[in-house]
Chain A
Amino acid sequence: MNIVVLVKQVPDTAAERTLTGTDHTLDRENSDLVLDEINERAAEEALTLKEENDAEVTVVSMGPDSALDAIRKVLAMGADRGIHVCDDRLRGADVVTTAKVLAAAVGTVTDVDLVLAGDAATDGQASAVPAMVAELLGLPQLTHVRELALDAGRVRAERETDSGEATLGAPLPALVSVTEKINEPRYPSFKGIMAAKKKPVATVGLDDLFPDADHAAFLVTRTRVVEAVPRPARAAGTVVTDDGSAARRLFDHLLAQKLL
C-alpha cells in the first residue's frame, strides 16, 4: 500500500507574520517557519496506517529550500521517502497552481492508494487545496475528517463541520483531509532523526513535473494582490469591574450601540 502525505511549512502562528513590501507575498526571512500543525497530524495518521497496513509513506511538500526541514521532520517521525517541489518560479503561487503542482507530484508516485493532508494550513486558510488536488487527480475527496478507517479497498471517514457530522465512504484510491482533532502527533525519536538523514528525498522542479508544458502558458498565479495595508491594532475599550451591576450596564451599552 502506498500513502502520500502532503505537508506545508508555515510561519509560526505564535509569532508576528508580515508581507513583503514589494509583491505582498509572505516575508519568509522575517518569520519562524514550522511544519504546519494540522499537516503534522495528517503525517501522524499516515504513519499509524503504515503500521497497520504495511504501507510505504511518501511525504510531499512544495516550498523553498527551507521546506526540506518540514519533510525531514516527517521522515524523522517515520515516513519512508520525500519529494520536495522546489522551484523559484513557484514563489507566490496561488491555490490553483499549488494544487496542480501537488497533484503532479503525487502523480509521480506509482500506485497511490491514499493521499492524506491537513484540512487547512494555518497561514492561507483557504481550506480548499486538498479537495482541489483530489479534483485534479480524479479521486474521491473525504475532507474535514476526525476519524478514518481502511477496509477491503475502501475508506470510511467521520466528517465534522459546523453544518453537522456525516459518515463518508469511498473506494480507494482516495484523498482524505484531517482536522486537528484526529490524533496527537508523535515526537521524532533520536533514532528517527538520525535515520531521516539517510532517507531519500527527491528534489523536483516545474520542468520535472510538467515536462511537456508550454512555459509561456504556465501560470504561477491567476490572481494578483493589488494592495496590502496593515490593519491598525484594536484599541482596548471600556473596562468595568463587576459590582453586581455590570450585566445591567453591559445590557444598556449593547442597547445604545443598537446591538440588541
Chain B
Amino acid sequence: MPDVLVLVEHDGARVHKSTYELLTAARRLGDPVAVLVGAPGTAARLRESLARYGATRVYAAESTEAGEFVGSPAVDALYLAVRTVDPVAVLVSATTDGKEVAGRLAARLDTGLLTDAVDLDSSGTVTQIVFGGAYTTRSEVTHGIPVIALRPGSFDPEEHPGDAVEHALAVPPVDPAVSARVTARRAALAGDRPALTEASVVVSGGRGVAGADGFKVVEELADALRGAVGASRAAVDAGYYPHQYQVGQTGKSVSPQLYIALGISGAIQHLAGMQTSKTIVAVNKDPEAPVFGVADYGVVGDLFSVAPQLTREVAARRGGS
C-alpha cells in the first residue's frame, strides 16, 4: 500500500479530532503516516492515539522552537517527510493554520492543492462545496503529489488499531529571517468550547441579541449543547462579539450537524457561511426574516424567551442522562 501523509494537529497532550478524521480519510488512499511537529516528548505521548486510528508510522519533528513560529515548522516537516517517504498524497485539516501550511507545501513542491474538501474517493478525487453552497464540485490534482486540506467534520473518525513505529524527522532549525516569531499568545475567548469550524453544533447570535451582554444567552445554549459560538457580521460590526467568531462570506464557513441562528435575519453574507449545515434552526421575531427560507425548523418568537428555555431542557436532559 502506498503511504499517505497526515499532518497531526494537537495541543501537546491530545490529538485533535480533525486529525482522526484525516487518518480515516487517508485509509481510502493508502497507509496513513502521521507527521507530528511539537515539543520533545510529544510523539511518545500521542503515538498510541494515532495508532488507534490507523497511523502505521509516526514521523516526529520535535524541537523546543516548534511552537515559536507560525506554520514554518509544519511546512518544513511535511516537506522533509514527502522527500523521505514519497507519499501518494498529503492530508491537512482545512483550519486557518492548516490551509496555509497546505498552500505553502504545495507551492514549495510545485504540486496541486485542493482546499476545503468535504469528501475524498480512492482515486484522490475530492468533493468541494463552493460559492457559499451554490455548487458541488469534484476536482482532482493533475500534477505532482496532491496536497489536500479536508474540512473538519466531513469524516466520521473510525478506529483502526495497529502499531505505529516512531521515526525522528531531523528538520533544520527555522530561519528567523523568513519566519514570523510568536512573541505572545492569548487563548481563544472560546475557552473550552470546540473550535468554530470543527464543532458539530454551532449556536450563532445576530443583531437581535441586542448587545454584548445578550450573547450570554447564546453562549449558555452553546455550552449546554457542547457547541461553538458564532456571530453574524451585523453582530460583529455592532461590537457584540469578536470578529474571529464571524460566520459568513468574510468570516468562517461552517458546516455543523446542527446550526442554531438566534436573532439573525439571514443576509446573503451570513447564509453563504452556514447553509451547508446539516440542520438549521432559526429563532427570530420577524416572520419575514430570510433565514426562515433556509431553516429546517423556524421559531417566530423572542430569542430571550426561547433560547433560555431550550437551554434548560437540554441541561435537564444532560443532567438526567
Contact = CB atoms under 8 A, between A and B. Distances in A.
Tell whether A pairs with B.
Answer: yes
Interface of A: 13-14, 16-19, 24, 37-38, 94-96, 99-100, 120, 122-123, 125-129, 131-132, 134-136, 138-144, 146, 156-157, 159-171, 174, 179-181, 219, 221-231, 234, 236-242, 244, 246-248, 250-251, 253-255, 257, 259-260
B104 interface: yes
B280 A174 contact: no
B298 A237 contact: yes
9 contacts: A94-B113, A96-B113, A125-B116, A136-B107, A167-B182, A226-B140, A241-B299, A251-B314, A254-B281
Name the interface size band of chain B.
35 or more
A139 to B, nearest CB: 6
Contact of A170 (B96, B179, B300): B179
A242 B297 contact: no
B137 A132 contact: no
Interface in B92-113: 95-97, 99-100, 102-104, 106-108, 110-113
Given A128-B102, A223-B113, A247 B313 contact: yes
Nearest to A141: B180
B185 A166 contact: yes
Contact of B141 (A18, A171, A222, A238): A222
A220 B310 CA distance: 52
A257 B129 CA distance: 24
A242 B135 contact: no
B88 to A, nearest CB: 15
A94 B100 CA distance: 15
B295 A260 contact: no
Interface stretch (B20-28, B156-164, B242-250): B242-250
Please classify the interface of chain B as helix (H, G, I), strand (E, B), loop, or mixed, using the class held by over half of its residues.
mixed
B44 interface: no
Interface of B: 70-71, 75, 95-97, 99-100, 102-104, 106-108, 110-116, 125, 129, 131-144, 176-188, 190, 195-197, 201, 225, 236, 242-245, 249-250, 252-253, 257-258, 268-269, 272, 275, 279-281, 287, 292-302, 305-307, 309-310, 313-314, 317
Given A126-B103, A222-B141, A163 B298 contact: no
A31 to B, nearest CB: 11
Contacts of B95: 162-163
B111 A222 contact: yes
Contacts of B142: 221-224
A255 to B, nearest CB: 8
Given A99-B103, A162-B252, A224 B140 contact: yes
